[in-house]
């Protein structure tokens, strides 16, 4: 059991899923003429694969900015599928999307806005103010060019340029999710 300021995550669920996947393992490159069949595995297995990839990368040069990671086991994950920690504090997340379609900028902004809203309501999801925090997408298919350019760039101008879209997405999320709609803090939210 891993605990993040009161949020308890069972590591056993991931371990059981990993053992089941190992028992049903297929030879590599069996499907899709040599392409890994990410869209054919379950969302849980895709998240577990991504979590294991981050676990294996840790310790390599330029991958020592976190010391542990874990997968949130389904359900309400508050917009974070894999959490990356350093000294017991969150330093990043990986949002996993095992979709057959290509993700658009709107799809990606929707995911990051959902996380922003959860983090606004639950500050324990973020590191102390002034600390670095990294947000990653792991996608099974692809990302449309506009979304790729947005997330590969840096600086605040990209957010300013997309302000209207981001505001519309945020307001839509507040109406869509009961945990946002019922929040006293978010009631009356406007552009």
Taking every pair of Cα atoms in the chain, the longest distance, rounded to a whole number of angstroms, is: 54
In eight-state DSSP terms, residue 156 is S
pLDDT at 67: 92
157-173 pLDDT per residue, tens: 999 999 999 999 999 99
pLDDT at 66: 93
Higher confidence at residue 35 or residue 11? 11
User: Distance (Å, rounded) from C-alpha 45 to C-alpha 51?
Assistant: 10
Long-range contacts of 83-88 (CB under 8 A, 24+ apart): 83/4, 84/54, 84/134, 85/4
116-143 pLDDT per residue, tens: 998 898 888 888 888 999 999 888 778 8
Mean pLDDT score, 172-189: 88
Mean pLDDT score, 7-23: 64
What percent of the chain has a predicted confidence (pLDDT) above 90? Answer: 31
- pLDDT > 50? residue 153: yes
User: Distance (Å, rounded) from C-alpha 92 to C-alpha 28?
Assistant: 30
Helices 43-57 and 11-23: angle between axes, nearest 10 degrees: 100
- pLDDT > 90? residue 109: yes
- pLDDT > 70? residue 11: no
Half-sphere exposure of residue 14: CA atoms within 13 angstroms, side-chain side: 21
- pLDDT > 70? residue 18: no
Residue in the block written with tokens 């990653």:
136
pLDDT at 157: 94
pLDDT at 92: 93
Q: What is the mean pLDDT of the chain?
A: 82
The structure tokens listed for 170 are 């945020």
pLDDT at 34: 46
31-78 pLDDT per residue, tens: 444 455 666 778 888 888 889 999 999 888 889 899 999 888 666 666
Q: Where are the beta strands (DSSP E) in 34-182?
A: 68-71, 82-86, 89-97, 134-139
pLDDT at 102: 84
Nearest C-alpha neighbor of 42 from the set 115, 84, 99, 122: 99
**Cβ contact 72:8 at 8 Å:** no
Residue in the block written with tokens 């350019």:
149
């Amino acid at each position: 059991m891993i605990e993040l300021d009161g949020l308890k995550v069972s590591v056993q669920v991931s371990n059981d899923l990993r053992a089941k996947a190992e028992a049903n393992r297929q030879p590599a490159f069996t499907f899709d003429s040599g392409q890994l069949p990410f869209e054919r595995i379950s969302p849980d297995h895709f998240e577990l694969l991504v979590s294991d990839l981050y676990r294996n990368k840790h310790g390599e040069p330029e991958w020592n900015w976190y010391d542990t990671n874990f997968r949130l086991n389904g359900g309400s994950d508050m917009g974070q599928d894999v959490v990356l920690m350093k000294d017991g504090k969150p330093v990043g997340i990986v949002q996993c999307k095992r979709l057959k379609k290509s993700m658009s900028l709107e799809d990606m902004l929707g995911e990051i806005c959902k996380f922003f809203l959860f983090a606004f309501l639950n500050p324990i999801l973020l590191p102390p103010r002034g600390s670095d925090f990294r947000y990653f997408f792991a996608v099974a298919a692809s990302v449309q060019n506009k979304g790729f350019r947005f997330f590969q760039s840096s600086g605040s101008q990209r957010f300013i340029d997309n302000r209207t879209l981001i505001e519309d997405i945020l307001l839509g999320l507040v109406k869509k999710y009961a945990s946002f709609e019922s929040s006293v803090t978010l009631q009356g939210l406007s552009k």
